[in-house]
Amino acid sequence: MAEGLFPMVGWAERPGAAPAWVARSRLAARRVGGCTRGRTSRLPDINQLFGLLFPFIIVFAVFYFLIWRPQSLEQKKRKAMLAALKKGEAIVTTGGIHGTIVVVKKDSLIVKIADKVEVEIDRTGVGFVRG
């Protein structure tokens, strides 16, 4: 086989014929405390593990406090507002229609939006209560 085409072939069978990059990588592994033959434990140091996990912990904390927690608080407020709807309250629907609640049903409302004009809307269609 031509030595120029495949320079890596056969170096493991010949003692002392390892390429220079193998010797350098073994030396570097010893300097930084990497995996060497004499080392019994291959578990990472706790400081290295914490150093790897710290950015993920920070991202999770930011995600929790800036996105998830405020959204759940808004959801609770909205649910309480929809549960407290009663007859005679002025509301604005999510579509922007202003009206007054005439009848409150379990899952829907009948809303008066003009003289002799009443529409039935779903409770979730209420945007907010006016006043």
Query: How much is the mean pLDDT over the chain?
Result: 81
22: pLDDT strictly greater than 80: no
Up-side HSE of residue 66: CA atoms within 13 Å toward CB?
6
32: pLDDT strictly greater than 90: no
Q: Over the range 79-109, which residues count as b (16 or more CB within 10 Å of their CB) and which as e?
A: eeeeeeeeeebebebeeeeebebeeeeeeeb
Give the pLDDT band of residue 51 (cuts 50, 70, 90): confident
Q: Per residue in 64-114, pLDDT tens?
A: 999 999 999 999 999 999 999 999 999 999 999 999 999 999 999 999 999
In what helix (H) or strand (E) does residue 58 lie, and over which residues does it extend?
A: helix 46-63
18: pLDDT strictly greater than 80: no
pLDDT at 1: 47
pTM for the structure as a whole: 0.57
